[in-house]
Amino acid sequence: MTPCLSTEENRMYNKMWHQTQEALGALLDKEPQKMVEPQRNQVFIFQTLATFYIKYVQIFRNLENVYDQIVHPQKRILIRKVLDGVMGRILELKNEMVELELTEFHYFDDILQDLKLAPQQLDIPIPKYFLKEKLEVIKGREKILAQILADSGIDTSEMKFPVKSMPFDQAVKLIQIAERARQGRLRALFMKQIYLQEYRAKQSKTLGKKVTDSWAAALCIQKVWRRFHQCKKTEKLREEEMIFLGMNPPPLFNEVSATVIQAEKVDRLRNEVQMKHEEDYREALVTIKNDLKLIEGLDIKENLQDQIRHWFIECRNLTGTFPDYPDIEEGGSAIIFSNKTIQQVIEDIIANQEEEEKNEKKKKKKKEKQPKKTKRQKKGTKEKNKEEDEKWKMSPSLFLPAMKEGCNAYKEIWMNKDESWNFSQDFDPELIKEEKRKELESEIRVQVDELMRQELKNLKLAVDREREHPAKVGKKKKKKGKKGKKKEKKTKKDKDLTADRTIESLYKELVEEGLLIQALKVNLSDYIGEYSYLGTTLRQVSIEPMPSLLDVRQLITLYGIWPLGSAAVHEKAPLVKSLLLAGPSGVGKKMLVHAICTETGANLFNLSSSNIAGKYPGKNGLQMMLHAVFKVARQLQPSVVWIEDTEKTFYKKVPNAEKTNEPKRLKRHLPQILKLLKPDDRILIVGTTRRPFDAELQPFCRVYQKIILVPRPDYASRYVLWKQIIERNGGVLTSALNVSCLAKVTDGFTQGHIVKVVKAVLTDQRIRRQIHKPLTAVEFITAITSMDPVYKEEEESFKNWYAKTPLGKKRALAITGGSTEKAKDKGKRKE
């Protein structure tokens, strides 16, 4: 039984789709008008790019929501096509902004203000279909990985939480310290009880039998009670006022409401309906095609044959000879009769003959009248070309045609379609018939072409008495043979070192060697951060701000998750093969790598220098390892190849302690691997480093295409971090805990420090005592004092290193007064 959904919800999402499609159509009409004309004003160019970028992000957010909730299978196919196009266009605009501003981070405060949007609306969501559509594959792969790890005796829990060994003497000493401390606490408690007993005895002797006034005692009690009552009343009024102003959350804010639970149930129900409708649609594709073949197949064949025969006769009447039949590679008769009548085909033949004659005459005239250019004319043309180069012009988009096709299909089919009969939003059989009729016609056309080629030969022999020239055919065959040899030579270079082995065996070997590891279940939304509110104002004063954590999260989505999640986007979008995350320890670089794998369902390969040390020794062993890793990565894509502490691979000078591990084994091979990666290969090489200044800069920057600085959290991010991490670990936020003060005091400390402190303070015993003794900021501050923060000097060293990278140099040159084009030229020469 198919579960029922309310018509109101279906109407709501259909209405949202129609509104989004209208907005997209209007945007597609505006974009060519503004982008075609070349511009010089850099501020104006950036504002137009940023405005289109923000509007496309809003359209993407709505489309992603609609695609996730709509249950009609044919609508979902069209929405998916447009959704991929919008994703690709956002990536193209991002690439244009990077080339224009020469930085990975952009700030849109003024534009958001003009468009009346909140910064949260700029957050880029991850499409849910990345995981939904391959959930079964991911689960199967996880089971296989867990089974291999269990069989090989590798315990994942031990890998995640390693236990440090301790000498026997040190362990005894620790136990003695703990026992002495326990005895000391008991003795102190006992002495306190004795002291209190003695104090009470002294008090009773001094007071004796002194009688106090009952009225004075009553008045004292009354004062205390009224004061207590008034304090409670004012606290309550203050809390209500803060809730009303939106400064504090309401009392049941953290509790899950009944409406949220109901919405989750509806979401699950919609997923079930989507799956059911998809299955019905796939079955209908097969059954309807078979029915059409039985009913209309013979009629289509006869009509095609009559059409082609009529073309033979008309061509002979016009030209005096029978035409040459198009080859299979060219498309056969489909080229001639693509949405054309026979009369239109004949007119095209006559027009082509006339055009060829005119072109030949024009070429002859041009050769006769070709004046020689003077030096002045040559100089003039060079100056014009320079002026044209200086003007900025938008590069052509590969995704705009797909979006326009989607919008046109929406207007033709769905815009004014009456769906009052389709209450359950199931597939439309008439649309399937139209689609399958074309497919059937193309299949029958191939058979008809073979018959009609033979018929044309017979006609030529019978009427014109023509025969084929075997010499020409022989020459063609020889040429084809030469091309085949060239292809064979190319394939010889790419030898398969593991041709005799299956992917399953290679997969098992890599898991056992520890090169293919299990990714931790971490979502990108767990990487908590806040928007940078001072980015635009700082840049106006020529100060380069440090990026916020939310900016880093957005770049990970754009460069890592989107291309790996969608094959259509990866093939056409600006290709990002490698990514470097540079920042101090504790800022969440490893977490981001695991988040990329979790959000896309990608395999995680660990090629860190410490992990490959002693494995696959020698040159042949290293080649075999890399071949096996990238062969499995291609077959089971998407895949992420992670190189932790990647600066060790590009060491300026290898320390003596690490020489035995051979950290620079991959240095020569990484550039070669990047060249072999094609747009079809959804493989991303991600490097993480906390000391990038130890590496040789030029080879380092050649390998890593995109470099992202991961900073320590700013005040806004720390405020959100403290609140959310305390709540996630069982803490309760009260007025006694000043989170703002805590965020201010912990300037320089990273996310890793905050997580460690919260886990250390919020023990099981402390969580139980929160009712009687609420949490205070002092508890966390005392715990964090033993940790070393990230000092400004270290942050400045990262900034200075980034300024030496190719993009950093271009940006610095542009800020100091040089034009962006000069900066680009200088960067290209040095690269």
Q: Residue 99 above 80 pLDDT?
A: yes
- Summarize the confidence of residues 744-750 as an average pLDDT: 91
Q: Residue 826 above 60 pLDDT?
A: no
- Summarize the confidence of residues 200-219 as an average pLDDT: 73
CB neighbours of 601 closer than 8 A, spacing ≥ 6? 130, 131, 134, 137, 138, 638
pLDDT of residue 92: 92
- Summarize the confidence of residues 188-217 as an average pLDDT: 79
At 707, which helix (H) or strand (E)?
strand 706-709
| DSSP per residue, 331-381 | TGGGTTTSS--HHHHHHHHHHHHHHHHHHHHHHHHHHHS-PPPPHHHHHHH
Q: What are the φ and ψ backbone dihedral angles of 322, each rounded to 5 degrees?
A: -75, 145
Residue 786: what residue type? S
CB–CB of 689/646 below 8 Å?
yes
Distance CA 239, CA 250 (A): 9
**pLDDT tens by residue, 229-268:** 999 999 999 989 988 888 877 877 777 778 888 888 888 8
Residue 682: what residue type? R
Distance CA 227, CA 353 (A): 106
Complete domains list, the chain, with CATH: 7-132+397-421 (no CATH), 503-709 (3.40.50.300), 715-789 (1.10.8.60), 795-830 (no CATH)
Say if residue 409 is exposed, middle or buried (CB neighbours under 10 Å; 0-12, 13-18, 19+): middle
**pLDDT tens by residue, 390-430:** 566 778 888 998 899 999 999 888 888 888 888 888 888 88
- Summarize the confidence of residues 595-609 as an average pLDDT: 91
- Summarize the confidence of residues 167-186 as an average pLDDT: 92
At 689, which helix (H) or strand (E)?
strand 683-689
**pLDDT tens by residue, 318-374:** 777 777 787 777 777 777 766 555 566 566 666 666 666 666 666 666 555 555 545
Burial 703-726 (b: 16+ CB within 10 A, else e): bbbbbbbbbbbbebbbbbbbbebb
- Summarize the confidence of residues 677-698 as an average pLDDT: 91
**pLDDT tens by residue, 699-742:** 889 999 999 999 999 898 999 999 999 988 888 888 888 899 99
